[in-house]
Amino acid sequence: GAGVSQSPSNKVTEKGKDVELRCDPISGHTALYWYRQRLGQGLEFLIYFQGNSAPDKSGLPSDRFSAERTGESVSTLTIQRTQQEDSAVYLCASSLGGAPRGFFGQGTRLTVV
Amino acid sequence: AQRVTQPEKLLSVFKGAPVELKCNYSYSGSPELFWYVQYSRQRLQLLLRHISRESIKGFTADLNKGETSFHLKKPFAQEEDSAMYYCALLPVSNTGKLIFGQGTTLQVKP
């Protein structure tokens, strides 16, 4: 596609359930990033994939969070046993390498009730 | 510690007035600095980065290493500039982890 695509746009889930968030990067972009934005706060780095290198997972807030990426394609962010504090907008970005200079998805708004 | 501080949550100015969105950073090395913008109901997008020394939509930002600042400026604000602005730092040693400030909402009144 023309840009980074995320699905779903909105997700409401019950506390304790697992959720999967999907990101389709721009074709050919080797780097993919996940960020989280909680209400009234800035963006928090979660995880970074670069090609076939081991991902930088240093931003994942707990072991309930995990992410996968197959090659240079789709990535899935999984949150297990969701908690109310997981409610946020989850943003994905992709780039040819280095910082996500301009290509962000529209985000997935996750609400845990 | 690596940190980006945007001291103002909201900046409200009248159309035609000068604008300065403040950004201070904490980093011991030579980082790369960015400004991102998010207009209402649109996705986050890059506005400018310090290494380009460019002017985008009339905005400029100069990196001041002595003051560890990267303030965003525009001499004459327009209503269409109303948006959320984020300052971000990319530590040179890590190519993936942008560190964002909390953002400043710019409101330009007619």
User: Which residues of chain B have a CB within 8 Å of the CB of A50?
Assistant: 95-96
Q: Best of B95, B99, B102 to disrupt the A interface by mutation (most A CBs within 10 Å)?
A: B95
> What pLDDT is recorded for position B12?
97
Number of Cβ pairs closer than 8 Å across A and B? 59
Q: What's residue A100's pLDDT?
A: 63
Identify the pLDDT of residue B93: 60
Model pLDDT, residue B59: 94
Contact A48 B101 (CB under 8 A): no
> What was the pLDDT predicted at A41?
82
What's the token pair of residue B54? 């460019």
CB contact under 8 A, B46 and A102: yes
Q: If you average pLDDT over residues B70-92, what whole number do you get?
A: 93
Rounded to an integer, what distance in angstroms lies between the CA atom of residue B108 and that of residue B80?
8
Query: Are residues B86 and A104, on separate chains, in Cβ contact within 8 Å?
Result: no
A106:B43 CB<8 A? yes
56-85 in chain B: CB under 8 A from chain A: none
pLDDT of B51 over the 80 cut: no
Mean pLDDT of B12-36: 92
Residue B100 in contact with partner chain A when CB distance is under 8 A = yes
Mean pLDDT within B17-38 = 92
Highest mean pLDDT among A45-49, B46-50, B75-79: B75-79
pLDDT of residue B87: 96
Q: Which amino acid is at A20?
A: E
Residue A1: is its pLDDT beyond 60? no
Q: Is the pLDDT of residue A20 over 90?
A: yes
Contacts of B23 (CB under 8 A, 6+ apart): B4, B5, B6, B33, B35, B61, B69, B70, B71, B72, B87, B101
Q: What is the structure's pLDDT at B29?
A: 78
- Residue with more model confidence, B106 or A72: B106
